[in-house]
């Protein structure tokens, strides 16, 4: 299927640049081909923490694309406003890659699947 936007793999090529502004973790999701990207901007321990999760609905690509276009400005805003940031810019890479609302398991994001797999383990 031809997408009207870059693929997740194409977006991930920017990770080396994103690492100039954020601490980046690539998280494994059981059964998923793609890793989830987690971006952390630690300002200082007592600063408020803002967690943002984008890209839940795969057919709504604008928020993840906005992150990948503006991560430098987002990091600068965190510094200006003294806010610790944890960002999951694309939590449903399967749906994003297929223009589908839900992920392959029928959930609205892979982070939930990841958390669920932890909770269901003995």
Q: Which residues sit at the interface with Zn ion, rule CB under 5 A?
A: 57, 60
The sign of the torsion formed by the CA atoms of 57, 61, 62, 64 equals: positive
Q: At closest approach, how far in Å is the CB of 80 from Zn ion?
A: 28
Tokens for 81?
């406003």
Identity of the residue, 6 or 63, whose beta carbon is nearer to Zn ion in the bound complex: 63
Identity of the residue, 54 or 74, whose beta carbon is nearer to Zn ion in the bound complex: 54
Identity of the residue, 59 or 79, whose beta carbon is nearer to Zn ion in the bound complex: 59
Residue written as tokens 């994103």? 18
Q: At closest approach, how far in Å is the CB of 26 from Zn ion?
A: 24
Q: At closest approach, how far in Å is the CB of 56 from Zn ion?
A: 6
Q: DSSP letter string over 53-80?
A: E---STT--HHHHHHHHHHHHHHHHHHH
* E strands present in the chain: 23-27, 36-41, 49-53, 84-88
Identity of the residue, 14 or 60, whose beta carbon is nearer to Zn ion in the bound complex: 60
Q: At closest approach, how far in Å is the CB of 58 from Zn ion?
A: 9
The sign of the torsion formed by the CA atoms of 107, 54, 58, 98 equals: negative
Task: State how far the Cα of 122 lies from the Cα of 111, in Å rounded to an integer.
Answer: 19
**Residue in the shown chain whose Cβ atom is closest to Zn ion:** 57
């Amino acid at each position: 299927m031809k997408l009207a936007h870059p693929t997740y793999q194409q977006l991930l090529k920017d990770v080396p640049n994103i690492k100039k502004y954020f601490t980046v973790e690539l998280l494994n999701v059981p059964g998923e081909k793609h890793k989830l990207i987690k971006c952390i901007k630690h300002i200082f321990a007592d600063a408020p923490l803002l967690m943002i999760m984008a890209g839940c609905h795969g057919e709504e690509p604008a928020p993840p694309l906005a992150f990948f276009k503006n991560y430098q400005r987002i990091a600068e805003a965190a510094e200006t406003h003294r806010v610790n940031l944890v960002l999951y810019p694309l939590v449903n890479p399967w749906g994003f890659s297929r223009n589908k609302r839900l992920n392959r398991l029928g959930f609205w994001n892979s982070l939930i699947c990841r958390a669920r797999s932890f909770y269901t383990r003995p």
